[in-house]
Structure 1
């Protein structure tokens, strides 16, 4: 497992939680992907009940990743507790996936690709680091942003 800073988390504000996330999730559940959006479904680590949250699915080459721009979010903790087993939903499509957390030293290029794609949406969570920042800066912030590589189970 990566050595991610387990205390770093930026809670979404009211508008993000109640308007943006719900709108993106609603559209994604109906088959409209907004810039690669999916609804991640994973059992809750305490309740065992399915938990859903919209995520940005990043593809680099042939490899797909989930990045947690806000840090150690609830979905990150639930994915870890599930042993990496999760589902990605788009419309009526359900993909079973196995998420493997990257070590901090392996995150720089994935974070760069993520910022290149979604900087306008999530740039504020990356402490002034962007896709053009030197690798040393990406490595500096890597422990604060969990990254999971996805594969078929």
Structure 2
């Protein structure tokens, strides 16, 4: 699947968030996920917004073909940083048949994430129904302790 190009303002936001997190400033629920690159082996970081469904914590790869999702699939563990707090975790991709309720929850809980998907042209309306219907293109990952 081809990677969707991120809009300029999303790329700018990602740089700002990573810089603020690096000096220990948390920005609400936004967390920086760092994972080793599957080809380079170098650490790669991207902002994500964890959300909860039935007591479990998830992040969504809302841009089909995103490099971070490919890297997470290949990695044993990732690092999640929020302000001065860092934790190591395992991430488990949710099977397509089980994604519906998780995608619906994302639409309700992470409106800025939905807005980013709208800006990137991934979705047209950002409704919970639309995200659920796109389960084959959007990859939620459950965050488990390492």
Is 1:91–2:83 an aligned residue pair?
Answer: yes
Count of aligned pairs: 141
1:71-150 equivalence runs, <5 A = 71-83=64-76, 85-123=77-115, 124=118, 125-131=122-128, 133=129, 137-150=130-143
Structure 2 counterpart of 1:14: 8
Structure 2 counterpart of 1:38: 31
Distance 1:25 1:108, change over 3 A: same
* Structure 2, unaligned runs of 5 or more: none
The 1-side partners of 2:113 and 2:59 are apart by: 15
The 1-side partners of 2:136 and 2:26 are apart by: 29
| TM-score (normalised: structure 1) | 0.81
* Structure 1, unaligned runs of 5 or more: 1-6
Q: CA deviation at 1:129?
A: 4.4
| 1:72-131: CA deviation from partner (whole Å, max 9, x where unpaired) | 201001001114x11101223221101111011111111111111223442413333413
Aligned to 1:45, what secondary structure does the other structure show? Answer: coil
The 2-side partners of 1:43 and 1:120 are apart by: 26
The 1-side partners of 2:25 and 2:100 are apart by: 30
| TM-score (normalised: structure 2) | 0.85
Q: Which runs of 4+ in 1 moved over 6 A?
A: none
**1:35–1:56 contact (8 Å) kept in structure 2:** no
Aligned to 2:49, what secondary structure does the other structure show? Answer: strand
**1:104–1:139 contact (8 Å) kept in structure 2:** no
